[in-house]
Structure 1
Amino acid sequence: MKAMILAAGRGERMRPLTDTLPKPLLAVGGKPLIVHHIEKLKAAGVSELVINHAWLGHKLVAALGDGRQFGVQIAWSAEESALETAGGIVQALPLLGDAPFLVINGDTWLDADYGALVHQPLGTDLAHLWLVPNPPQHPEGDFSLAADRVQDRPGLTFSGIGLYRPEAFALLAQGSRKLAPLLRDWMAQGRVGGSRLVGEWRDIGTVARLRALDDELAGSTN
């Protein structure tokens, strides 16, 4: 299986840190957010990665290169300007191949079993989403679970981690496109499965949340 790490966003709420550094290179626990994902994916047996970039993307490429230092292979999908999630996936499809692939938001942090993500059966669904309890900054949530079906009503928060069939995006035109409208269309067709993410999940959306997680990780190693 291949995995795509989304790393093209500007990170406006993280300014001024992101004025000079792309958000996924911000560090917690002594290493960049995106490196946490790369190392855990490698440990789960995923060594072929695709990473998109736009804002200060050259710094991501300079820091991570072809992935050899982490024991993985990185293919880069450069975007002139950020294409939103679905648009970024559409552009990267030639790099992702014909099999289902995992997509992870590069500005999140997980302490979870990545192997469970990799080995999740997709069946005939177009997507499988991992949902988490609503964090304080997003109390209304996004979607809900009924057995193993994701439904378009609030209840839980989409973690930004999903498993997708490439054919779900194959007929879409290139350009900026959000993912949520597509997910809702697929939900209406009954073709989106889901489960609760088992483990710790953090959306690193502000400087305060970044620093709080860094302090937690530093304390856990003392």
Structure 2
Amino acid sequence: MKAMILAAGRGERLRPLTDHTPKPLIEVGPRTLIGHHLAGLARAGFEDVVINVAYRGRQIIEVLGDGSHWGLRLHFSEETPGELDTGGGVRNALALLGEGPFALISADVFTDFDYARLQAHGDADVHCVLVDNPAHHVDGDFGLNQGVLMDAAPRFTYAGMGVFDSARFAARDTQRFALSAVIREALQAGTASGEHHAGSWIDVGRPSALEQARSMVMKG
């Protein structure tokens, strides 16, 4: 199974830090934010990783190279900043992803989640990792009942990690759409599964969250 990292965002809330450094290349301890994901994917047995880039995309491509540093093969899908949204970014990269399910990870998160757990869902339509609701998203996104994703309370927050079948994106007839639209389609069809991650997870979207992630690395 291939993996894809969503790395096209602008990182507005981390300005001025992101004025010259794209968010995925911000350092969190000895590695960049995206470097932590790449190392985790390599440990989990992934070999091919697709990365979509837009804002300062060439900078990301030049720093990461071909992926050999992590024992991976990297493939880049270049976009125009602000044009496609999350779901559209995946649809734009389908030629690189191929057919069938793939792991999808947001570069914005910092976590100790074991990506090998995603390998166990290689036949999924949509499978989402959920976490307890952070302070900035107290209402959550989806419920979970015996591994089935639900539109019911109590709700957890989508962690920006999961497995998705490429057919879900190929069937869309619009270029710009959110990933949440794909998740809700599968939920309504009764083909969306999920799991709860009780370990560390941070949405690195604010300066305070970035410092929290850096502190976590320092503490080991």
TM-score tier, shorter chain, comes to over 0.9
Identity %: 39
Q: Provide the residue aligned with 1:41 in structure 2.
A: 41
Q: Provide the residue aligned with 1:118 in structure 2.
A: 119
Q: What are the superposed Cα offsets for residues 3-34 of structure 1, whole Å, 9 maximum, x if unpaired?
A: 00000001111111111111111111221010
Supply the distance in 1 between the matched residues of 2:217 and 2:28 (Cα, whole angstroms): 7
1:112-191 correspondence runs (5 A) = 112-120=113-121, 122=123, 125-154=124-153, 155-173=155-173, 175-191=175-191
Q: Report how far residue 215 of structure 1 moved.
A: 2.0
Instruction: Give 4+ residue runs of structure 1 displaced > 4 Å after superposition.
Output: none
SS of match in other structure, 1:80: coil
Q: Report how far residue 174 of structure 1 moved.
A: 5.1
- Please tell me whether the aligned partners of residues 148 and 192 of structure 2 are also in contact (alpha carbons under 8 angstroms): yes
Supply the distance in 2 between the matched residues of 1:50 and 1:181 (Cα, whole angstroms): 21
SS of match in other structure, 2:137: coil
Mean alpha-carbon deviation: is it higher for 193-202 or for 205-214? 193-202
Q: Which amino acid aligns with 1:93?
A: L
1:35-74 correspondence runs (5 A) = 35-74=35-74
Q: What are the superposed Cα offsets for residues 55-109 of structure 1, whole Å, 9 maximum, x if unpaired?
A: 0111101110111222110000000123111101100011001231000000111
Q: Report how far residue 181 of structure 1 moved.
A: 2.1
- Please tell me whether the aligned partners of residues 53 and 78 of structure 1 are also in contact (alpha carbons under 8 angstroms): yes
SS of match in other structure, 2:156: strand
Mean alpha-carbon deviation: is it higher for 173-182 or for 108-117? 173-182
**Could you tell me the TM-score, scaled by structure 1's length?**
0.93
| Aligned CA-pair RMSD | 1.4
Q: What are the superposed Cα offsets for residues 92-129 of structure 1, whole Å, 9 maximum, x if unpaired?
A: 0110012310000001111122211222353xx52001
Where does the alignment leave 5 or more consecutive residues of structure 2 unmatched? none
Residues 91 and 121 from structure 1, CA distance in 2 versus in 1: closer, same or farther, beyond 3 angstroms?
A: closer
Supply the distance in 2 between the matched residues of 1:46 and 1:56 (Cα, whole angstroms): 26
**Could you tell me the TM-score, scaled by structure 2's length?**
0.94
Q: Provide the residue aligned with 2:109 in structure 1.
A: 108
1:79-94 correspondence runs (5 A) = 79-82=79-82, 83-94=84-95
Q: Alignment length, in residue pairs?
A: 218
Mean alpha-carbon deviation: is it higher for 43-52 or for 76-85? 76-85
Where does the alignment leave 5 or more consecutive residues of structure 1 unmatched? none
